[in-house]
Amino acid sequence: MEPRGWQIAFAGIENFFLFNTAFSVAAFVVASVLRRSRMMKSCRPRASARVYIAALVVPPVASAWLVCASLFPALWLGDKVWAQEHVENHSLHLLNAFTVVADPMLGYAAITFTPLALMVATWAATSCSRAKSSSGAK
């Protein structure tokens, strides 16, 4: 793979983790709010399971779609065409101008989210199994 291809692949992986982190946090908040709402308490367990499954599946799928939709044209177009189109339409995607100050922090936040999510999932599974074992002992 040529150097430009490696740069695009690295940018794609980095953006995937960034978007996936943001979407996963949003999905976790939505699932948590729905879990505590009256609407979910009155629904069947199958509806709750669908919400949790969607919270797990939708963020990576949406992140992959977003990254692929934005970075595949850079691979499909040649270097000259990509540079020309990129310069002409550069003002359309200057979100980086707002996040460039926090750029290292966004990467650190994405990397930190993974072990934190793992610790929360482990804690939840452990406390759930303890609650079940203590209620089963009665």
**Domain segments of the chain as ranges:** 1-77, 94-138
Q: How many residues can be counted in the chain?
A: 138
Cα–Cα distance, 88 to 9 (Å, whole number) = 23
pLDDT band at 49 (very low <50, low <70, confident <90, very high): confident
Cα–Cα distance, 54 to 61 (Å, whole number) = 10
> Residue-wise over 61-78: b if at least 16 C-beta within 10 A, else e?
ebbeeebeeebeebeeee
Instruction: Reply yes or no on whether the pLDDT at 85 is more than 90.
Output: no
Instruction: Reply yes or no on whether the pLDDT at 61 is more than 90.
Output: yes
> What is the per-residue pLDDT across 26-39, written as a single tens digit (0 to 9) for each?
998 888 888 888 76
Residue 30 phi, psi (nearest 5): -65, -45
> What is the per-residue pLDDT across 87-137, written as a single tens digit (0 to 9) for each?
665 555 555 555 566 667 766 776 777 788 888 888 888 887 777 676 655
Give the global pTM. 0.57
Structure tokens at 110: 């994405």
Residue entry with tokens 């940018």: 11
Query: What are the Cα distances from residue 89, in Å, to 31, 65, 94?
Result: 37, 21, 10
Structure tokens at 80: 């000259």
